[in-house]
Amino acid sequence: MKASIALTAAAALAAKASAACFSQRLGYPCCSGNEVVYTDNDGKWGVENGNWCGIADAPAQATCWSLSQGYPCCSSSNAEVWYTDASGKWGVENGDWCGIPTGSTGGSTGGGNVTPSNEQYTISGNPFKGVEFYINPYYVEEVDGAIAQMSDSSLIAKAEKMKTYSNAIWLDTIKNMQSWLESNLQGAQSQHQSSGKDILTVFVVYDLPGRDCHALASNGELLANDGDLARYKSEYIDVIEGHLKTYKSQPVVLIVEPDSLANLVTNLESTPACADSEKYYLEGHAYLIKKLGVLPHVAMYLDIGHAFWLGWDDNREKAGKVYAKVISSGSPGNVRGFTDNVSNYTPWEDPTLSRGPDTEWNPCPDEKRYLEAISKDFKSAGIKSVYFVSDSSRNGKKVDRKHPGEWCNQTGVGVGARPQASPVSGMDYLDAFYWIKPLGESDGTSDESAARFDGYCGHETAMKPAPEAGQWFQKHFEQGIKNANPPL
């Protein structure tokens, strides 16, 4: 999901207003005036009474049935239909659901928002098994935008196939969480009602105070202080908990805070920002595990970096102690397992590498060997549930990097194994290959003058020019689908 400029004002409770507007479903009121202060993919924002507010769409759309449900109208009655429920036909524009107008008379066709089911889904075993994967509508729209820039028919065909695969939805700011969590839970429930199949949605929980302490490109909105930890709990985790308790009839997987705990394993002494963040990483994880780990339809996976981060023997041993402590701190919440290679490029298997000087004596120079080793270490550390989801979104081809620690917008990228449950025979602890990082979304800007410029994004094998983290990177996407392995 695209990272956007954070709105730093505290989120107001959604209130009824005489004129419906997009911001109500995000937890912000509608503006009474129309002075535009800021514009993003959701719409036009103003400021009133010291708080952000949404500026209503033009009156010409006032009769569209979906406005009464807190969603905008689609721009055309000929918009592509993504799903249909009792309310009407739904499309996707500007990264959000919209109602497709039914004609000049407008008006509601009946019903309100998708009514949450009273049924309780309970995950037993591998949550990826025996379910249909939810398609991320925001990513579909991004790919449609990419296709509009292409002229090569074979490349367009590959891009069209990308729209048929599931990937994770990133809740990377409070505002994005408010915008994306409930609407996609509703989308999954509607898909279930239409198909009769259980629909799995994967979200990335990613907004810890002091986030990504060892990098600059993906720093978050919340700082490493007590006040922002309180916001993380009340405005972020508590809201996620509330929505998950409401929409409980379909399975949900949460990928928890990429890069955070791995930084506590290796970077506390070398990076002051990580030392400053340690308290908040630990308290944040304990809180979210207690809150979300008790929900029977939710499975959580904690991030463990990748093979060239924690692959060495001493790092894996230390990681076992850190992760065991974190999981214990979240009792009685449960953690299903761990996720590796998130937003990275390390191949699943690389027979050309072995423990030696080329790998800095790393005994785990690919993700398969890493998971084989760390699964044993974690069990030895007393962790009871040790299962893995491996991000295969960008590791189909060995990239051009000259050092395995290179992580930013690597050239030679290729999309990897398709999302699949239990993909490797003999590895019953590997729950799935899954696309966690959406191919085509940048790792970070190559603009050295930018506030969030990270030196890794300026290295030789980092593709340039590159936009800010989370923004669409057309050239990287096109290379990734050309180099797909297996081919698209």
CA 359 – CA 93 distance, rounded (Å): 45
Residues in the chain: 488
Nearest to 5 by CA among 48, 49, 50, 37: 37
* Residue 57 is among the residues annotated as catalytic for this protein: no
The DSSP secondary-structure symbol of 465 reads: S
Amino acid at 417: A
DSSP at 18: S
> What are the residue ranges of helices labelled H in 247-365?
260-266, 272-292, 307-310, 313-329
DSSP code per residue over 240-268: HHHHHHHS-SS-EEEEE-TTHHHHHHHST
Find how far residue 336's CA is from the centre of its chain.
18
Given 228, 259, 303, 350, the catalytic residue: 259
Clarify whether 40 is annotated catalytic.
no
From the candidates 377, 391, 443, 454, give the one annotated as an active-site residue: 443
Q: For this structure, is 212 an active site residue?
A: yes
Coil, strand, or helix at residue 457? helix
Q: Sign (positive/negative) of CA torsion 204, 471, 207, 72?
A: negative
Which residue bears the tokens 């429930």? 189
From 85, 212, 366, 454, active-site residue: 212
Torsion of CA 178, 180, 184, 186, to 10 degrees: 30
Annotate 360-410 with DSSP letters as a single string. Answer: TT-S--SHHHHHHHHHHHHHHTT-S---EEEE-SS-SS----SSTT--SSB
- Residue 318's identity, in one-letter code, is K
Token pair belonging to 429: 């602890």
Give the C-alpha separation, 347 to 259, whole Å. Answer: 18
> By the 8 A CB rule, do 110 and 87 touch?
yes
Is the alpha carbon torsion for 448, 453, 454, 460 positive or negative? negative
Q: Which residues are the active-site residues?
A: 212, 259, 443
